[in-house]
Structures are given as C-alpha cells and as structure tokens.
Amino acid sequence: MIYIRTSFIRLHTLLQSANAAITSKSRLSLRNVRTMSSANRLDLSGVMPPIATPFDKDENIRYDLLEENINKWNKIPFRGYVVQGSSGEYMYLSKEERVEIVKRVRNAVPSDKLIVAGSGCESTRDTIEMTQRMADAGADAVLVVTPCFYKGGMTAEALTNHYTKVADASPVPVILYSVPANTGIDLPVEVAAKMCSHPNVIGMKESGGDVSKIGLMVHKTKGEDFQILAGSGGFFIQAMTVGAVGGICAVANVLGGELCHLHQLFKDGKMEKAVELQHRIIAPNAAVTRKFGIPGLKTAMDWFGYYGGPTRSPLVPLAQGQLDAMMKDFVENGFDPKK
C-alpha cells in the first residue's frame, strides 16, 4: 500500500511538471480554441455607449472622472461599454493610454457587463498586437474599424484578408466596424457575408445609416450567430426592425436610460411608444454626432450631469451659436438639462 501511494504521488508530480512545461505558444493556441468555440455565445443584444475619454484643461486623461462617469452609467441597464470607439478620441491617444483606459474601465464595471475595446489600427500587424493587449487588459471582445489611410487599396479582398488574420490571432471575439463618415470606407456586405462564418467573428457595428444594408446583412448572414449592431441612435429602432440586436450609440453617453428604454419598448412590442421615443432622440443624436461631433457630445455630457470636459487638439470647443443650436435640439424634444 505504501509503495502504491508513493508511486501515485510520483506520477501526480510528473503530471504537474509536464503540465507546467507546456509552452506559452501552446497555451495561447488552446486559449484561441476555447475562445473560438465559445465566441458565438457572447450575446451583444442591448445598448452600449462608446464612452468619451475625459481630459483636463491640459489634455491629460482624468481617470478619476472616468470612474465617476462609469459609476453613474452603471445605474443604467447597459449591456456593456465600448472603450476606444470613435467617441473616445482613440486616434489621439497613445497605445499605452488606450490600454490603460480599458484596464480602468474593466476594474470599475461589474463582471456581468461586457467590455468591448476598440483595437483597430492601420496595419494588420498593429491591429493584432493591439487586440492582444486589449484582451490582456480585460476586454471581452474587440471592435475593429476598417483601415482607411490607403483607401484605394481597401478592396473587399484586402478587408477580408485583414479581418481573417486578426480573427485568427485574436484571443477574444471580434466585431467588425464600418463607419464611412469617418473612414471614407463603407465595409461591403460581401465582406460581412464571408466573415460571418469565422468562429471568432461574432458581429458588426454598422454606422453608415443605410437600413437596407443592415437588413441585407442580416439576411446574408442568417444561419450564423452573427449579430448586427446599429451604430447610431438616430436609426436605432429602424435597424432593430430589420434584424439588428442592439446598438453602440454615442448619444447613450448622455441619454443612456432613454436608449435602453427604447430597446425594451421594441422588445415588448410597444411600437407606438417606441416610435414616439425614437422620433424624439433623432435630433439630439444628430447634434452629438454629425452636427457638432465630439465637442458637442462632451458639452452635452456636462449639461446632463456627467463629466465631458475638453477634447484633445486639434478639436476645438463649440462657438456660442453652436451651443445655442444644440441646446435647442435637446430642449425641443423634451430633454431639458435644466430640469
């Protein structure tokens, strides 16, 4: 009996040693297998704000004020948060700042809320590196915007190749991101149709505003667990009508409760009330996006009890006439920050 026990202990020790000897590359491969097998089970339905990055007057990141905003947003039934989306001024941040913000948000957010991190860069190689770093920082998934500097070369073939390499290497699920107003590139439906079968690609954020395109993508990707997200609060209910599961909407930084209520009204089939609320959100949404951009969004956040603060240069504050026009867009639709 003593001999058997001793032999068992030696065998157990050998197994532990063998397990510890697995290379980091092998562990990463196993992690990728696990991720790809579970990626399609990550539910994106609901509302996620692409959160703004708070700066002080010297354009330094105020992590304390970021945490204050998060604590207020945590009271809203968001599905999660998008960190380093277009509203986060990520293109003005260093790599280290981008990763650090994700870490801070992850630490401030309950585990049941998703963290989706923007990891897109111009080159495939840099995107893969940033994706790994975002995963290490705590992101549950990554949002990968289309490369755009060499627009003429960003064919459907080039984009499919880019996203395939990123998804193959990513330790977390990948969400495609089309935002033609900023990039000048409208991610083709054929790319989504090809990428939807990749086991590590779970959906797409569509910000172009073409609801017929969203409907066509839903149709072309049916049979796959590929989730389409509206990229704007201005066409949120329209996108859900043709099959989108939720939205990543800049205006949710300000009117998060209202966007979540709109989503719930739609789910409950209360279409008359949903349409009425959607109509009221259109003008404020336009004000904090295409009309007045990030300076407008941050100003509105200041109005409604969050910290918006200044932007990083070269963006500049709004002029008084723009402020007055934006206030009108909110007040006339029943969103008065003074009440």
Active site residues: 177, 205
The answer to whether 192 and 226 have CB atoms below 8 angstroms apart is yes
184: how many CB neighbours lie within 10 A of its CB?
A: 12
Cα 91 to Cα 142, 143, 157, 184, 315: the distances in Å are 16, 14, 25, 16, 12
Does 248 appear as a known binding residue? yes
Residue positions forming the annotated binding site: 248
Residue positions forming the annotated binding site for pyruvate: 248
